[in-house]
């Protein structure tokens, strides 16, 4: 059995045209699968993929907490801040996936800032923040294959 690339109907092998829509079955059409999600391409280095996975994690958590604060806790100011932060994170994710250098520099500097603040105001979660922000800063400033992607 062969399937029509236009309507998806089953056709008998060897026929020239689809029985349902008349599409020429001998012409091979390229697959038009969606290779991007939200206009985002997959980063080219593993280190940048890890950074982007962390950014998506931050985005999802901040969206959830922001909506939770607004709807359930009625703490509108902190909820609004978290939703604005989510929007900024999405801009950062898009900028890093499109290799925009100014976004790399801004997110790298913010990561260094978080890294330093985690040492100054040290609590139990600071170890995790130190590791994550240090890794992000390393990837965006010192990992040569990743840095070379940005113009």
Per-residue pLDDT tens over the stretch 7-47: 778 888 888 888 888 888 876 655 555 555 555 667 888 99
- More confident: 100 or 25: 100
* pLDDT on residue 121: 81
Q: What is the structure's pLDDT at 131?
A: 92
Q: How far apart are CA 116 and CA 125, in angstroms?
A: 14
Q: Residue 55 carries which DSSP code? A: H
How far is CA 56 from its chain centroid? 6
Highest mean pLDDT among 21-25, 116-120, 140-144: 140-144
Q: Cα(131)–Cα(28) distance, rounded to whole angstroms? A: 50
Mean pLDDT of the chain: 85
Position 10 scores a pLDDT of 83
Q: How far apart are CA 150 and CA 32, in angstroms?
A: 28
Q: Is pLDDT at 112 greater than 80 in this prediction?
A: yes
């Amino acid at each position: 059995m062969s399937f029509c690339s236009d309507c998806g109907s089953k056709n008998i092998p060897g026929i020239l045209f689809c029985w349902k829509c008349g599409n020429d079955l001998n012409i091979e059409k390229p697959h038009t699968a969606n290779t991007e999600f939200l206009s985002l391409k997959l980063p080219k280095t593993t280190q940048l993929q890890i950074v982007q996975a962390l950014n998506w994690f931050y985005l999802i958590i901040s969206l959830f907490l922001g909506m939770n604060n607004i709807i359930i806790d009625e703490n509108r100011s902190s909820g609004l801040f978290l939703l604005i932060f989510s929007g900024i994170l999405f801009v950062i994710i898009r900028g890093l996936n499109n290799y925009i250098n100014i976004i790399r520099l801004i997110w790298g500097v913010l990561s260094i800032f978080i890294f330093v603040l985690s040492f100054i105001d040290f609590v139990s979660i600071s170890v995790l923040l130190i590791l994550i922000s240090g890794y992000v800063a390393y990837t965006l400033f010192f990992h040569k294959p990743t840095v070379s992607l940005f113009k």
